[in-house]
Amino acid sequence: MASKKITNATHGISTVAVQAGEAHQKPGHSITDPIFCASTFTFSDTDAIIRFIEEKEEREEYGRYGNPGEKVAERKLAALEGSEDAILYSSGMAAMVGLVMTKLNAGDEVVFFDECYHRSREFCAKHMSRFGVITRQVKACDYDAMEAAINDKTKLLISESPTNPHLSIIDLDRFAAIGKKHGVETLIDATLATPYNLKPINHGVDYVLHSATKYLAGHNDLLAGVIAGSTEQLEPVRKLRGIMGAVNSAHNIYLLLRGLKTFSLRMQQHNKSGLAVAQFLETHPRVEKVYYPGLESHKYYDVAQKTMSGFGGLITFLVKDADWRATANIVDAVTIPRIAPSLGGVESLIEQPLVMSYYECSPEDRARFGIQDNMIRLAVGIEDTDDLIEDLKQALEA
Amino acid sequence: MKFRTKSIHVGNQRDPQTGAVVPPIHVASTFVQPGAGEWGEFDYSRSGNPTRKNFETTIAALEGGSGALAFASGMAATHCATMLFSTGDHIVAGTDIYGGTYRLLHKISNRSGIETTLAAANDLDALEKAITPNTKMLWIESPGNPLMSITDIKACAAIAKKHGILLGVDSTFATPVLTRPLELGADIVMHSATKYLGGHSDSLGGALVVKDQELFDRLYFIQNATGAVMAPLDSFLASRGLKTLAIRVKEQSKTAMYLAEKLAADSRITRVLYPGLSTHPGHDIAKQQMDSGFGAMLSFEVAGGFEKAKKMAESTKFFQLAVSLGAVESLIEQPASMSHASYDREDRLAHGIQDELIRISVGLEDAEDLWADLDQALSQ
Ligand SMILES: Cc1ncc(COP(=O)(O)O)c(C=O)c1O
Ligand SMILES: Cc1ncc(COP(=O)(O)O)c(C=O)c1O
């Protein structure tokens, strides 16, 4: 039995993070949820199977269809998101694939804002195309272009907010309204925002996707993905997951649940340090420009202020008068952030998008994606803020 | 490097072979050696394990020590410290020490002819008077359980130094976020890593941290010889816990302060024991030896006696009825019926543990949700 429903409407987010989705009294009376390393679940007798099939009894059947620990995590994630339901996957990409494979059939179309996570766009543009699905991409935050790209085949509108690495902020009310007006479902990848800072469901968005690998799990030690939405809309998605099999493991799910316990605290710290570091960078003479939604200079500052309660730890900045090598030298000179892709963990990470993700892209394509040679992306962790600023300062001034 | 940065980076160097940001979990019991009679850094997991070593390195840095040893439980750590001594040796311990430590000293160590005298650790004269020529160690705990008594660690260190004996501090309740006993002159810091260090109620562990290399070597010898080491998976979870230790403990302390003030102002409560309140007898010392908070453990007495307190402890929704402490989930217990039920009532009362005493371990839930929960439970 789950404890009296704890949601983000009735309780503070820390309470939701620690307690929501969990039974008050757990198996074995343990305070934490056990890790069920079970590939299958036994039935006491034939009648028990029949009761299960006739839906008279809710229980597990086989690991690919569900696991008790997974249910706890899904309930907790839904409570954080303020959605009815949530489905967990083995990675963020698996979640994206799970949704688009469910919603898009041959002949259907999907429209992306072009700053959405590049692998998501690539999956639709390069792979769903094999099944006759057409992918259209329009400039991020160009709502008219998005609306113009919709036709009677369009089934899904997808964006990320904030986007990566430019941290553009989508006006979710407008985005959701376009979908509603045309009877097209909408999906927001809110990985960079997390439910601590943004609740797309409240703006009328149908599905929220997270690479839970990032802030939700928060310790750079597991992969996971989640899609939140209404039970009804997610039902076929869940069914397909059971068939395609991109489920997460019992061990990972435990670590995710454990990470979620400190989610609210970690986010407070990421938000605080993120803003402080962004402000530091903005005033540094070697920095040309900082992309961070909490800065007044940010193009989407107003939308961000209206919709978000904090801006997370991801900061992108341009180094003044630096070619790619001079920029790389700064990345190589920092000592606390590690050089690695990904974000959202306790450890700060740093990378140069040109090298890390776009090295094999033509200069024209990079220009089109807005990836500059002198661009650095910093994922601020929860180390001491002063230590991080000190470290960046020495690297910039080295 | 400041505390939070250390907790994330010291002992967690990137894996040189793969670049993994989080070091791999080494579950090996044994390690292949470069040659016969040539030893690598690790040979056998009882003697040393890379994952355990990572946790030990981090906790040593956080406590300002030069070395740490991780154990299978807090009691295994304390036991290792007591194994430093021999027949005829004597230990002086505070009266407020953890019950398991009391049991170890009085029912196990005594079998080897090591005697223990208890003295009120907040009465420095009494403590010093208990020291005999055979005394080898002073063992204290601050804050003490369940009355949150505060012991002046610096003053105890001066006494220990004067008598040429070791000072051991069970710092489980304080954590290095709030108090670093080695900096105050203690020789050994002990933790039940089961509590705040791990922080998620999901593993058992213990640690000893020291500054002095010779003392470290003696303790290491005992640990290796007796074998109560922390397992690799638990070492990984403990390291993972340390990364959020500072933010957890500060937040939990803040919430505890808020609850202590609410309770202190509530007519249904007769007494609140929390070192952050100026009415607490240890407040002035706590202010000196605790940084950025007074911990997340607090006790209070409920008007209406044993039954009323029992009812209250059974009526909370977020505070779960369980012993232990220091985790993200808030816990509640009644010492008279739970943690200290094995004492005679007279002994309990003599220790100041009233029937109506309730102890809470404040977790990470929202402060207002926790207050609402206590409030409704007090009205049951
Ligand atoms: C915004 C965003 N969406 C989706 C993903 C994909 O998630 P995962 O890496 O967990 O598959 C990532 C991460 O790489 C991401 O940053
Ligand atoms: C203050 C204190 N010291 C020591 C211990 C013993 O630790 P463990 O339970 O990890 O053996 C405990 C835990 O119960 C404790 O609260």
pLDDT 10s digits, A343-353: 999 999 999 99
A100 lines ligand 1 (CB under 6 A): no
- Interface touch B366/A13, C-beta < 8 Å: yes
Instruction: Give pLDDT tens digits for A55-103.
Output: 988 999 999 999 999 999 999 999 999 999 999 999 999 999 999 999 9
Question: Is the CB of residue A91 below 6 angstroms from any atom belonging to ligand 1?
Answer: yes
pLDDT tens-digit series, residues B132-158 = 999 999 999 999 988 999 999 999 999
Q: What is the pLDDT of residue A4?
A: 62
Of A11, A219, A386, the CB nearest to B369: A11
Q: Residue A2: pLDDT band by 50, 70, 90 thresholds?
A: very low
- DSSP class of residue A150 equals -
Instruction: Kindly state the average pLDDT of the residues B174-203.
Output: 97
Concatenating the DSSP letter of every residue in A224-270 gives -EEEEE-HHHHHHHHHHHHHH--PPPHHHHHHHHHHHHTHHHHHHHH
Measured on CA atoms in the order A113, A114, A120, A125, is the torsion positive or negative? positive
Half-sphere exposure of residue A245: CA atoms within 13 angstroms, side-chain side: 2
Burial B249-282 (b: 16+ CB within 10 A, else e): bbbbbbbbbbbbebbbebeebeebbbbbbeebeb
What are the strands of the beta sheet with A207-211, ordered from one edge?
Answer: A85-89, A225-229, A207-211, A185-189, A154-160, A109-113, A134-138
A209: left (phi over 0), alpha (psi -120 to 50) or beta: beta
Query: What span, in angstroms and rounded, lies between the C-alpha atoms of B187 and B167?
Result: 5
Mean pLDDT of the A179-206 span: 98
**pLDDT-derived band at A380, boundaries 50, 70, 90:** very high
B122 or A274: whose pLDDT is higher? A274
For residue B311, pLDDT beyond 90:
yes
The answer to whether residue B239 scores a pLDDT higher than 50 is yes
Cα–chain center distance at B59: 13
The answer to whether A166 and A299 are in contact (CB under 8 A) is no
Establish whether B98 is a catalytic residue: yes
CATH number for B3-242 (one of 3.40.50.2300, 3.40.640.10, 3.40.50.150, 3.40.50.720): it is: 3.40.640.10
Query: pTM here?
Result: 0.91
CB-ligand 2 contact for B194 (6 Å cutoff):
yes
Domain ranges of chain A: 13-261, 264-397
Task: Name which of B8, B318, B324 is nearest A19 (Cβ-Cβ).
Answer: B318
| Per-residue pLDDT, B276 | 98
* Cβ count within 10 A of residue B223: 23
Report the range of poorest mean pLDDT among A263-267, B35-39, B182-186, B227-231: B35-39
Cα–Cα dist A164/A313, whole Å: 12
Taking the CA of residue B324 as reference, the ligand 2 atom at the shortest distance is 14
The mean predicted confidence, pLDDT, of chain B is 95
Dihedral pair phi/psi, residue A314, rounded to 5°? -90, 130
Angle CA A352–A355–A360, to nearest 5: 145
Q: Interface pTM (ipTM) of the complex?
A: 0.84
Q: What is the CA radius of gyration of chain A?
A: 22
User: Would you place residue B266 in the very low, low, confident or very high pLDDT band (cuts 50, 70, 90)?
Assistant: very high
| Cβ(A225) – ligand 1 distance below 6 Å | yes
pLDDT digits (tens, 9 = 90+) for A224-275: 999 999 999 999 999 999 999 999 999 999 999 999 999 999 999 999 999 9
From the list A12, A345, A384, the residue facing B3 with the nearest CB is A384
B234, pLDDT greater than 50: yes
C-alpha of A358 from chain center: 21
Q: Where are the domains of chain B?
A: 3-242, 246-379
Residue-level pLDDT at B21 = 92
Region of residue A132 (phi > 0: left; psi between -120 and 50: alpha; otherwise: beta):
left
Q: Which atom of ligand 2 is nearest to the CA of B323?
A: 14
Is residue B344 very low, low, confident or very high in pLDDT (cuts 50, 70, 90)?
confident
pLDDT of residue A220: 96
Question: CA A395 → CA A51, A374, A391, distances in Å?
Answer: 65, 15, 6
With an 8 Å Cβ cutoff, are A347 and B244 in contact?
A: no
Whether B202 and A345 lie within 8 Å, measured CB to CB: no
Mean pLDDT for the stretch of residues B193-206:
96
- The count of other CB atoms within 10 Å of the CB of residue A336 is 20
Give the contacts of A256 (CB within 8 A, at least 6 positions apart): A73, A88, A212, A216, A217, A222, A224, A248
Considering the four listed CATH numbers 2.60.40.10, 3.90.1150.10, 3.40.50.1000, 3.30.70.360, the one that applies to the domain covering B246-379 is 3.90.1150.10
Give domain A13-261's CATH number out of 3.30.70.141, 3.30.2080.10, 3.40.640.10, 3.30.230.10: 3.40.640.10
Lowest-pLDDT range of A49-58, A262-271, B216-225, B235-244:
A49-58
Q: What is the pLDDT of residue A9?
A: 84
Q: Read off the tokens for B282.
A: 């240890």
**Within 10 Å of residue A398's Cβ, how many Cβ atoms?**
10
Q: Give per-residue burial for B338-367: e unless 16+ CB within 10 Å, then b.
A: bbbeebeeeebeebebbbbbbbbbbbbbbb
Residue from A77, A93, A99 to probe ligand 1 pocket by mutation (most atoms less than 8 Å from CB): A93
A contact residues 30-69, partner B, Cβ 8 Å cutoff: 31-32
What strand order describes the sheet that includes A314-319? A287-291, A314-319, A375-379, A349-351, A338-339
pLDDT at B95 over 60: yes
pLDDT bracket for residue A1 (50, 70, 90): very low
Which runs of E-coded beta strand occur in chain B?
67-71, 90-94, 115-119, 135-141, 166-170, 188-192, 206-210, 269-273, 297-302, 320-321, 331-333, 357-361
Q: Please state which architecture CATH assigns to domain A264-397.
A: Alpha-Beta Complex (3.90)
pLDDT digits (tens, 9 = 90+) for B278-307: 999 999 999 999 999 999 999 999 999 999
CB contacts, 8 Å: A14 with chain B: 251, 364-366, 369
pLDDT at B340: 85
- The SS3 call for residue B364 is coil
The residue of A80, A346, A350 whose CB has the most chain B CBs within 10 angstroms, and thus the best one to mutate to test that interface, is A346
Query: Is B180 in contact with B245 (CB distance < 8 Å)?
Result: no
CA B160 to chain centre: 20
What pLDDT score was predicted for residue B212? 98
User: What integer is the mean pLDDT of B22-29?
Assistant: 93
